[in-house]
Amino acid sequence: MSHEEQVRIFDTTLRDGEQSPGCSMNVEEKRRLARQIDRLGVDIIEAGFPISSDGDFQSVQAVARDNRRPVIAALARCCPQDIERAWEAVKIAARPRIHTFLATSDIHLQHKLRISRRECLERARDAVRLAKSLCEDVEFSAEDATRSDVDFLCQVLEAVIEAGATTVNIPDTVGYTVPAEYAELIHTLGRRVRGIANGSLSAHCHNDLGLAVANSLAAVSAGARQVECTINGIGERAGNASLEEVVMAMRVRPDRYPFHTTVNSEHLFAASQLLSEITGVPVQPNKAIIGRNAFAHEAGIHQDGMIKNPLTYEIMTPQSVGVPETRLVLGKHSGRHGLQLRCAKLGFQLDRHELDRVYRLFLALADHVKVVDDNCILDLIRQARISSSSSGHVSEPVRESVRAAAANSVGMVPFPVPDHRNGQRQPLTIPASTPPHEGEQQEDYLWGV
């Protein structure tokens, strides 16, 4: 049992995430994904916005029925129809929450809602009162909080807390704030808002400036104890704070973030994959934690370091986030050490001269394709064995490899995974029959060109 303070993870993939262009989900899809999100161990699942459509109403009901462990939240604007509809959908949950929101910034009050600050405050208070008469667990969000007048924001939050709000969420709706400023706001609210309970402040950040995760972490350091986020960071415009990044930042850097979450990080990759499969929206290859390249290494110097000890270039194990294995991608930046290991995996223990020849052919090929896959490497070994010349000249069989590889140039080569106990990394081992070359200190990926 951890003695660190808990940060609650509020997953809004099924609500704010779904608002991402091209990411809408039907009832069955939401049910499938909700099961996986439940498996992840998040504290709260925001299942939808029941007034928005009958489908979303049914989704919230179904998710509430299926998943009995987490709190299930339903979103509502600050008006009676919305709140009653949200309650109708979520009341079946073992732990229901009504999440009601209203903008508090002058920009939104004047141009969108066309109401005064006074009307805003009354509407927010009345909505929370109504929600509280239906449900014990009520969250209030001050939409566009980060562009709101701080004194007015404090007044609204005091009013909704008095009316029964148990969580107050401070959205950076337009992704405008920066870490130091957001931290200051959270800190100020924690200090100034009368009646605010310990741990009731929540962060909700959008990624318009690419700062959603940094802002969420800054909020946690300043006292927020709930973070609203989505799998793969999907959400309106540039998205929401990415759940996997928030969770792993806290896990990998407990020295800076001495907090724990209940998330089972080994399920992160599966959740990400399922979301992509359901929405048809792929994850960018370089996406932190769960992107295709997050645990792939191409540069020779990096591969060499990884072979000697994965601690050199990986700050967490792929297994800790459910990624099956580290991958050694053989391309033009790779070195002999990585190539040698791959050949050994394919059953070829090359002596120094053979490796030299294969490496020269490999470099000639790698200039033409993005990734050199296993079939190409087998061709290269064959070619090197037929011809004892090491001119680097691209011969006919190699040209065939170029063509084949070019047709299928995204292939990845798995990297052997070391044994690791208690999450500790162990150095990878080169087969005993192929000791490191004499005098070789550091991989040089230009060697032999």
Residues that bind ligand KIV (CB under 6 A): 16, 101, 141, 143, 169, 171, 173, 204, 206
Residue 57 contact among ligand KIV, Zn ion, none, beta carbon within 5 to 8 Å by kind = none
Calculate the alpha carbon distances from 307 to 326, 425, 443 in Å. 11, 12, 11
Nearer to Zn ion, 172 or 373 (CB): 172
Tell me the closest approach of the beta carbon of residue 306 to ligand KIV, in angstroms: 40
Q: Torsion angle, CA of 79/84/85/89, rounded to 10 degrees?
A: 140
Judged by CB, which is closer to ligand KIV: 16, or 373? 16
> Which listed residue (16, 43, 172, 373) binds Zn ion by CB under 5 A?
16
Minimum CB separation of residue 279 from Zn ion in Å reads 17
Nearer to Zn ion, 177 or 340 (CB): 177
Tell me which of Zn ion, ligand KIV, none is bound by residue 337, counting a contact when its beta carbon lies within the kind-specific cut-off of 5 to 8 angstroms.
none
Q: How far is the CB of 148 from ligand KIV (least distance, A)?
A: 11
3-state helix, strand, coil in the chain (%, to 5): 45, 15, 40
For residue 93, how many other CB atoms are within 10 A of its CB? Answer: 25
Task: Kindly state the smallest distance separating residue 193's Cβ from ligand KIV, in Å.
Answer: 18
Under a CB-based contact definition with an 8 Å cutoff, are residues 114 and 157 in contact?
no
CA R_g for the chain: 27
Terminal Cα distance for the chain, rounded = 55
User: What would the DSSP string read from start to end of 354-395?
Assistant: HHHHHHHHHHHHHTT-S---HHHHHHHHHHHHH---------
Where does 1-149 have alpha helices with state H?
Answer: 27-40, 54-66, 80-90, 106-108, 117-134
Please list every residue from 32 through 51 that binds Zn ion, using CB under 5 A.
none
d(CA 155, CA 147): 15
Q: Which stretch binds Zn ion (CB under 5 A): 15-23, 137-145, 274-282, 304-312?
A: 15-23
Binding span for Zn ion by CB under 5 A among 8-16, 145-153, 162-170, 301-309: 8-16
Token duo for residue 446: 């230009």
> Residue 143 binds what, of ligand KIV, Zn ion, none (CB under 5 to 8 Å, by partner type)?
ligand KIV
317 binds, among Zn ion, ligand KIV, none (CB under 5 to 8 A by kind): none
Q: Which is nearer to ligand KIV, 16 or 29 (CB)?
A: 16
Partner from ligand KIV, Zn ion, none contacting 141, C-beta within 5 to 8 A by type: ligand KIV
Choice between 101 and 269, CB closer to ligand KIV: 101
Query: Which residue number, 171 or 335, has a Cβ lying nearer to ligand KIV?
Result: 171
- Identity of the residue, 212 or 323, whose beta carbon is nearer to Zn ion in the bound complex: 212
User: What's the one-letter identity of residue 221?
Assistant: S
Does position 29 interact with Zn ion (CB under 5 A)? The reply is no
* List of residues 6+ apart from 48 with CB closer than 8 A: 14, 15, 18, 30, 56, 57, 59, 60, 63, 74, 75, 89
Q: By C-beta, is 164 or 171 nearer to ligand KIV?
A: 171
- Other beta carbons within 10 angstroms of residue 387's beta carbon come to 14
Query: What tokens appear for 311 in the block?
Result: 């601690």
Choose the one of ligand KIV, Zn ion, none that binds residue 101, judging by a C-beta under 5 to 8 angstroms depending on kind: ligand KIV
- The site for Zn ion (CB under 5 A) is made up of 16
